[in-house]
Amino acid sequence: MADAPVALPASSLLQLIWLASPALPVGGFSYSEGLEAAIDSAGITTEPAVSDWLADQLHLALARADLAVVAQAVPAWRQTDAARIRALNDWVFQTRESAEFLLQTEQMGRSFVEWLKLHHADVADVFERLPASYPIAFAFAASRTEASARDACLAFAFGWAENMIGAAVKAVPLGQSAGQRILGRLAAEIPTAVDHAITLADDERQAFSPMLAVLSARHETQYSRLFRS
């Protein structure tokens, strides 16, 4: 008989829930990641269209880039591998495909570090010479729990999903029930996306989503908008 899986300690589970919360003061709610531009110019104006768009973004963009970085950064933080952390952080900054995407990861990473200073005494020293991207800052926080890299990625992805649903509900607009149906679909697909992300080697990560990049660039000058990106 196979051994039962070891339960994550309650303190670590609660930390992951906290890290995934849209209420975390890092500004995630203020970004639509190109979705607002897609609503304006790409016909993403119905519940099915938004659902398909976000599912594609999960698998084709998030899983192959930021989730893969989080999966690799969590063990690197635990091993105090500064060179590895810096290389992953540099990769995130170098592969943002628009000015808005770069601004987002810079601002959210900076805000995350400021929040972390309230909870870990060594944060100021750790990040003194490391302007952290959001995935790297998130991975640091997750590494201070007993959660696996996979569990950290699940939390990261769900936090992203909640922020994107919030953006869709406001910008399409959609009703709350529609938003919850889409969130349910994303929640069901997140484990598959994470399982793919954690298998990716350095030369298999990628941040290449041309239409998403074009829409993000269009959003910079969109006539009317609710979100920063």
Residue 48 reports pLDDT greater than 60: yes
Structure tokens at 87: 């290389």
Residue range 109-167, pLDDT digits in tens: 999 999 999 999 999 999 999 999 999 999 999 999 999 999 999 999 999 999 999 99
Q: 228 with 103: CB under 8 angstroms?
A: yes
Overall average pLDDT of the 54-83 stretch: 98
DSSP state of 223: S
Residue 133: partners with Cβ closer than 8 Å, 6 or more residues away = 89, 92, 93, 105, 106, 109
Residue range 180-198, pLDDT digits in tens: 999 999 999 999 999 999 9
Neighbour tally for 194: CB within 10 Å: 27
Q: How far apart are CA 35 and CA 32, in angstroms?
A: 5
With CA atoms as reference, report the closest residue to 205 among 53, 34, 87, 74. Answer: 87
Residue range 196-216, pLDDT digits in tens: 999 999 999 999 899 999 999
Q: Is the peptide bond before 135 cis (omega within 30 degrees of 0)?
A: no
pLDDT of residue 229: 59
Q: 67 with 193: CB under 8 angstroms?
A: yes
pLDDT of residue 64: 97
List % helix, strand, coil for the chain (3-state, nearest 5): 65, 0, 35
Q: How confident is the model at residue 1 (pLDDT cuts 50, 70, 90)?
A: very low
Neighbour tally for 169: CB within 10 Å: 19
pLDDT of residue 5: 62
